[in-house]
Amino acid sequence: GDSVTQMEGPVTLSEEAFLTINCTYTATGYPSLFWYVQYPGEGLQLLLKATKADDKGSNKGFEATYRKETTSFHLEKGSVQVSDSAVYFCALTLGSGNTGKLIFGQGTTLQVKP
């Protein structure tokens, strides 16, 4: 079935370090891909998205490129801040994306130390 696999956490980095969180997916058809972030005590919020192959999503210094050949959507940021500490979820939706059904990865906890 369709699924999303994220790298195991927690990931602990020092401030200003480079961040990569790996995400790979298995899907029939052509999914849309997302990164959501969950700050402590809050609901999830969309960080970025890409709807077709080779699209790059970007927001708040974070980037991810939809790689169809490697079925990946890795999240990167050049210089993390303490305020980026949160849980990050990779997700996909099938078809046109006009649905409220997302398939989420397990989440990766990021802790950034000053």
The residues that touch other proteins, with contacts defined as CB under 8 A, are 32, 34, 36, 41-46, 49, 51, 89, 91, 93, 96-107
Instruction: Choose between 52 and 113: whose C-beta lies nearer to other proteins.
Output: 52
Q: How far is the CB of 14 from other proteins (least distance, A)?
A: 27
Tokens of 53: 């192959």
Q: How many residues in the chain?
A: 114
> What HEC string does 60-113 produce?
CCEEEECECCCCECCEEECCCCHHHCEEEEEEEECCCCCCCCCEECCCEEEEEE
Minimum CB distance to other proteins smaller for 19 or for 89: 89
Residue closer to other proteins, measured from CB, 91 or 110: 91
For residue 66, what are the β-bridge partners?
none
Shortest Cβ 112–other proteins spacing (Å): 22
Smallest separation (angstroms) from other proteins to the CB of 103: 7
